[in-house]
Amino acid sequence: MKFTTAILAGALALASFTGQASAVTFKFAFQGDLKSLDPYSLNETFTHGVLGNVYEGLTKRGKDLKIIPGLAESWEVLEPTRWRFHLRKGVKFQNGESFTADDVVFSADRARGPSSDVKTRLPADAKVVKVDDYTVDFVLSGPNPILNAEWDTWYILSKKWCEEHNSMTAQPQAGQQMSYAALHANGTGPFIITDHQAGVRTLFKRNPNWWGKLESNFDEVIFTTISNDATRVAALLSGDVDWADPIPLQDVPRINASGVAKVLQGPELRTIFLGFDQYRPELRYSNIKGKNPFKDARVREAFYLAIDEIAIKDKVMRGAATPSALMISPLLFDLSKDFTRPAYDPAKAKKLFADAGYPNGFEVTMDCPNDRYVNDEAICQAIVAMLARVNLKINLLAQPKAKYFAKILVSGGYDTSFYLLGWTPGSFDSWNILANMYRCRDDKGVGGNNNVGNYCNPKVEQLTKEVLVENDKGKRDQLIKQAYEIGQVQDWAYVPLHQQALAWGVSNKVKVVQRPDNQILFYWFRKE
Amino acid sequence: MLAFVLRRAVQAVLVMVVVALIAFTLFRFVGDPVNQMVGIETSAQERARLRQELGLNDPVVVQFARFIWAAAHFDFGVSYQFKQPVNDLIKQRFPATIELSLVSALFSLLLGIPMGVYTALHRDSWLSGFILTVSLVGISLPTFLTGILLIFLFSVTLGWLPSFGRGDVVAIGFWTTGLLTKSGLRAIILPAVTLGLFQMALIMRLVRSEMIEVLRTDYIKFARARGLPNRIVNFGHALKNTLVPVMTIAGLQLGSIIAFAIITETVFQWPGMGLLFLRAVQNADIPIMSAYLLLVAGIFVIINLVVDLLYVVVDPRIRIEARSA
Amino acid sequence: MSAQHDASHIKWSPRLTKFLDNDLVYSFRKSKITVVATLVALVIVLGAVLAPWIAPHNPFDLKTLNLLDSNMPPVWAKGGDARFLLGTDDQGRDVFSTILYGSRLSLAVGLMSVALAAALGITLGLLAGYSGGVIDTLIMRAADVQLTFPAILIALLIDGTVRALFGESHDENAAIWVLVLSIGLSFWVQYARTVRSMTFVEKNKDYVLAARLIGIRPWFILVRHILPNVIGPVLVIVTINLALAIILEATLSFLGVGLSPTQPSLGTMIRIGNNFLFSGEWWIAIFPGVTLAALVLSVNLVGDWLRDALNPKLR
């Protein structure tokens, strides 16, 4: 009797267990919204990451960030200006259409077309030629060794589908006309978006017809925005979500001790740094009139030495940061090892200020975002206090990112004297850094578009040009190294602080793969 | 009478136009919408072209006229962030906010009125003092802190209630409701309490002071003198007289509950209009902001108008004043 | 909304001074809770005013901050440091000292914004009530428009506009004025409505008519005769508003438009501390939170008592 009861109970337990396990649902939450499903309308890490589960590029990047075949099975460089891609056969879009070379040609035009935000994915003057249904050539105007570096986020759309739904160009950022592609998705990837309520939640289902072998066991995935940090942590701890990002650093121990979830930390590719206006004859926000102290490299060096990055890493970042000597992550540049960060030296900083003619320091306003990077506002506050100890009076202006970017970037006329910013090279390569950060620009931002303080040195400018066309990796790395030696070591153009660490909160029931580019590709995740 | 109604209606329309004007002008300063729409690598020319397309370079008057014209047709344009009509977004979010507001209003009435009555009847009892003080403590903490503390207690520590969102919703025509599902009902408790605490304290205090005044009127004294039992006097006579102004205020408060939901919705990630609005402010999404403001203003103006008209029906003195004015 | 409703129920007796002398004082002493509340408020106000002299550290002097002191628990907890009674925050500021200095800012913002609101509201209310006609309609319609938006929205909007119009000032004190302006401008309606309705009542009373007959100028009548009579209800609104203003400042901080983080108010401290609630560093949010609650609560209690005490019907 007892025995049969036990069996019955066991059978019931088993039944209920299999009942639950029959549909595996993965719930994840992120700080920001999934704003558009059109993969060309917003050049943003999170959007690209999520859409990477639905759409695919010709190439992808593997778990180790190495470029691997995607919709292209293989490719070859026929001559330095002609690349040939052999497309995967038998791939179907989620609406059932077959994927062919026409879609690639179409996507290349669409990505470079009006209102696209991913125009930099391939050169504007590159010609995309269909050789046959499954072969495409890219004809370039000059050699470009990093042509396909960012193609993992240049997703291929169906030409026919876009035509049918009047989405031939990327979702226009302006105007009243709506784009079907912004609210619906039709990729070739392992997951299908079945319902999308912008800013609330997005529903994914497994794509049974995907060409690859799916590592994930998810049948259904639900995405929700949770913008408030504390709420997001609470949702993870109470089991309401399986994955949450970002996790505030101070909550890491508690989550790790909860027995419900763990925090997965890893290095991120984004470098957090400080920049100076070294262009205007007089700073906009300073008590020094008639001249610009930041034009003097000694002042920039003094700022560098007066900031105790180790303390910031230990206290503000709670160890979750890698102090950086360069504006690029060591993961992305092999010769980073040749550079070291000068040690914290407030005494020398004071002396440098005196040498430069500011023995009593001066006053300047610092622009800082307060909802963009990990602990951005706290970092700025700590820096303000450290600079106060070398007699500088820094007025801190910490603002939400909407206002912050509107002020300091090109649209605001680079309206800042001293700022904190973060940068990830989209191509995972130094040229992106040099071109954006070290190249001279004009007032309208032509040139080094994100060189906010307009650091400008013709030697670095020249090296940047050479880096772009150099095909030999060894020589290229040497050129990059030279550029950094001038721009960073000699000129102190920026104060690189650190690469912040990723902090994903992951339920103990879920196994994930975390890449330093912070893309959430849940086709590699599994849930028990 | 008709003249009075007409005049109030015209005034209401004027109010709406002024609100529209203010909302519109203020929003020109909130931040650069172009920056929010494109990634960091977009060039200056590209940005300039966008500004032109969005009409951000036209004179303010032209922009406003365009805005009013569209708004009059219930067309608030396309959200800069979400690339879909603001109308659709509002339609999606409207039920969530209304449900939250109504439930929290209900909560504040159901708790506030009995507590108000009790504290009025037993003015000097220690329990009254306790209730009054505790209700004040509830409103002495910023809503965002109350919300987080509730989440910490009931979601993280006890694990009783969900920490965010609306749970499962059921669609009934254009309306979505969370009140018909178990998860939806569980989800609404914490945000509704957080949002309702302030109103509850308010209503309790209002009931108390009204009740105390009514209890002192000759009418009540007379009723007592007639030997009616306390219970009948207190609840049959006094409370009934108290409730009229209380209901009026509660009705008017509904407008501000909807607006105060901004903070509660942010803390609980409640997918309502308030959250939409705050995110819009952070992202300088002007179409959403203007639509939200006009909607809240509209709700408020309508409630006001209804209350005004009810007064006319109820209180003859206003009718006279209206005629003479 | 209801604050002015409550207050308008006070049928004000013209003999204010007479019973201020005795009745009010008596009723105050009789209400123990009010006495306690007043004491609590006084302690906080004194602490705030005397902060530079009694605080062990000056958290606004950035030179003295050391990041290495950050996140220390209160002195009685494990890992506490005798230098920091209530522990330190994420920047190494002494929480106790910061509370003293922060209360200073919170109170300053609260008092100044309420003063602004009261001044504006009383003036407009008197004007509307006394003149009637077009001016009255204009002012009251403006009030209607304003009431359409709850304070929090108005403050957000004004804050955004001011910052945009005058540029992001690099003077940290400017942030205080922006807050005062935003909060002040969102509260004036209650005063205006109350004062207007009371002025309506008063202006038809014999003494005002008499004053008018003997040729006393209107503004003089307003100031000399009507104003003293509206002080009572205004005082009640002031206390309620003061509490609201302090909370509103905190809420605006939460929404990211408050004071500079290098000069934290109580609200800013709570906002920062909020992020450390789950991680066990509770003292960063709880101590300022308790202080804020105690302050707001006692101001509210005093307001409560004042309303009852000044209402002749309730005595």
Q: Would an 8 Å CB–CB cutoff place B190 in contact with chain A? A: no
pLDDT score recorded for residue B1: 63
Report the gap between the CA of C260 and the closest CA in chain B (Å).
18
Q: What percent of chain B has pLDDT over 70?
A: 87
Q: Do C2 and B296 touch (CB under 8 A)?
A: no
Nearest one of C42, C259, C89, A234 to B268, comparing CA atoms: A234
DSSP class of A325 = S
Report the gap between the CA of A244 and the closest CA in chain B (Å).
13
pLDDT score recorded for residue C313: 52
Exposure string for C177-195, b = 16+ CB within 10 A, e = fewer: bbbbbbbbbbbbbbbbbbb
Q: Which of residues 36-75 of B touch A (CB under 8 A)?
A: 36-45, 47, 50, 53-54, 75
- Averaged pLDDT, A413-433: 88
pLDDT score recorded for residue C167: 57
* Three-point CA angle A292, A298, A301, nearest 5°: 110
Report the gap between the CA of B195 and the closest CA in chain C (Å).
14
Q: Do C256 and A229 touch (CB under 8 A)?
A: no
pLDDT digits (tens, 9 = 90+) for B236-256: 777 777 777 777 777 767 777
Q: Do C150 and B256 touch (CB under 8 A)?
A: yes
Residues from chain C that touch B297, judged by Cβ atoms under 8 A, are 148-149
Report the gap between the CA of B13 and the closest CA in chain C (Å).
11
Of the pLDDT bands very low, low, confident and very high (cuts 50, 70, 90), residue B42 is low
Q: Do C262 and A381 touch (CB under 8 A)?
A: yes
Nearest CA in chain A to C71: A315
Of the pLDDT bands very low, low, confident and very high (cuts 50, 70, 90), residue B202 is confident
Which is more confidently placed, B137 or A385? A385
CB of C290 closer than 8 Å to CB of C310? no
pLDDT at A226 over 50: yes
Nearest one of C285, C250, C2 to B255, comparing CA atoms: C2
Q: Cis omega before residue A246 (within 30°)?
A: yes
Length reported for chain C: 315
Q: Do B263 and C313 touch (CB under 8 A)?
A: no
Q: Do A371 and C256 touch (CB under 8 A)?
A: yes
pLDDT score recorded for residue B50: 76
Residues from chain C that touch A311, judged by Cβ atoms under 8 A, are 67-68
CA distances from A231 to A251, B33, B262, C90 (A): 12, 28, 15, 20
Q: Do B267 and A38 touch (CB under 8 A)?
A: no
- Give all chains having 3 or more CB-to-CB distances under 8 Å with chain A: B, C
Q: Would an 8 Å CB–CB cutoff place A178 in contact with chain B? A: yes
Q: Which of residues 150-179 of B touch A (CB under 8 A)?
A: 151-152, 155-156, 159, 162-165
pLDDT digits (tens, 9 = 90+) for B301-321: 787 777 777 766 665 554 544
Q: Do B284 and A234 touch (CB under 8 A)?
A: no
pLDDT score recorded for residue A487: 92
Nearest CA in chain C to B297: C148
Q: Do C152 and B263 touch (CB under 8 A)?
A: yes
Of the pLDDT bands very low, low, confident and very high (cuts 50, 70, 90), residue A93 is very high
pLDDT at A3 over 60: no
Q: d(Cα B44, Cα A307) in Å, to the nearest integer?
A: 33
pLDDT at A191 over 90: yes
End-to-end CA distance of chain B: 11
Q: Would an 8 Å CB–CB cutoff place C71 in contact with chain A? A: yes
pLDDT at B96 over 70: yes
Which is more confidently placed, C55 or B38? C55
pLDDT score recorded for residue A508: 92
Q: Do A238 and B159 touch (CB under 8 A)?
A: yes
What would the DSSP string read from start to end of B152-209? IIIIIIS--S-SSS----EEETTEEESTTSHHHHHHHHHHHHHHHHHHHHHHHHHHHH
Report the gap between the CA of A360 and the closest CA in chain B (Å).
36
Contacts of residue A323, defined as CB under 8 A and 6 or more positions apart, other chains included, come to A309, A310, A313, A341, A497, A498
Residue C42 has which token pair? 């006084």
Q: Which of residues 20-59 of A touch B (CB under 8 A)?
A: 29, 33, 35-36, 38, 41-44
Nearest CA in chain C to A309: C67
Q: Do B132 and C5 touch (CB under 8 A)?
A: no
pLDDT score recorded for residue A303: 94
Q: Would an 8 Å CB–CB cutoff place C171 in contact with chain A? A: yes
Of the pLDDT bands very low, low, confident and very high (cuts 50, 70, 90), residue A305 is very high
Give me the residues paired with residue B53 across strands: none
Q: Would an 8 Å CB–CB cutoff place C260 in contact with chain A? A: yes
User: Does residue A158 sit in helix, strand or coil?
Assistant: coil
- Averaged pLDDT, A35-43: 83
CB of A341 closer than 8 Å to CB of A327? no
pLDDT at C121 over 70: yes
Q: What percent of chain A has pLDDT over 70?
A: 94
- Averaged pLDDT, A18-42: 80
> What ipTM goes with this model?
0.78
CB of A71 closer than 8 Å to CB of A57? yes
pLDDT digits (tens, 9 = 90+) for C3-13: 444 444 444 45
User: Which residue of A179, A229, A231 to mutate against B (max B Cβ within 10 Å)?
Assistant: A231
Mean pLDDT computed over every residue of chain C: 78
Exposure string for B59-77, b = 16+ CB within 10 A, e = fewer: eeeebbeebeeebeeebbb
- Averaged pLDDT, A293-301: 93
Residues from chain B that touch A426, judged by Cβ atoms under 8 A, are 41
Report the gap between the CA of C68 and the closest CA in chain A (Å).
7
Which stretch, A394-403, B215-224, B264-273, has highest mean pLDDT? B264-273
pLDDT score recorded for residue A134: 94
Q: d(Cα A197, Cα A202) in Å, to the nearest integer?
A: 6
Residue entry with tokens 């005013």 = C49
- Give all chains having 3 or more CB-to-CB distances under 8 Å with chain C: A, B
pLDDT score recorded for residue C9: 46
What would the DSSP string read from start to end of A227-253? -SHHHHHHHHHTTS-SEEEPPPGGGHH
pLDDT score recorded for residue B285: 74
pLDDT at A40 over 80: yes
H-state helical runs in A291-397: 297-306, 309-311, 346-355, 376-388
Mean pLDDT computed over every residue of chain B: 79
pLDDT score recorded for residue A47: 86
Residues from chain C that touch A384, judged by Cβ atoms under 8 A, are 62, 262
Report the gap between the CA of A381 and the closest CA in chain B (Å).
22
Exposure string for C125-158, b = 16+ CB within 10 A, e = fewer: bbbbbbbeeeebeebbebbbbbbbbbbbbbbbbb
pLDDT at C273 over 90: no
Nearest CA in chain A to B81: A35
How many A-B residue pairs are in contact by the CB < 8 A criterion? 162
Residues from chain C that touch A233, judged by Cβ atoms under 8 A, are 278
pLDDT score recorded for residue C160: 63
Contacts of residue A22, defined as CB under 8 A and 6 or more positions apart, other chains included, come to none
- Averaged pLDDT, B130-135: 81
Q: Give A227's Cβ-side CA count (13 Å radius).
A: 24
Q: Give B312's Cβ-side CA count (13 Å radius).
A: 17
Nearest CA in chain C to A229: C275
Of the pLDDT bands very low, low, confident and very high (cuts 50, 70, 90), residue C2 is very low
Q: Do B82 and A409 touch (CB under 8 A)?
A: no
DSSP class of A367 = E
pLDDT at B39 over 70: no
Of the pLDDT bands very low, low, confident and very high (cuts 50, 70, 90), residue B37 is low
Mean pLDDT computed over every residue of chain A: 87
Nearest one of B287, B211, B272, B291 to B246, comparing CA atoms: B211
Q: Would an 8 Å CB–CB cutoff place B322 in contact with chain C? A: no
- Averaged pLDDT, C144-161: 69
Q: Would an 8 Å CB–CB cutoff place A260 in contact with chain B? A: no
Nearest CA in chain A to B287: A176
Q: Would an 8 Å CB–CB cutoff place A80 in contact with chain C? A: no
- Averaged pLDDT, B210-236: 78
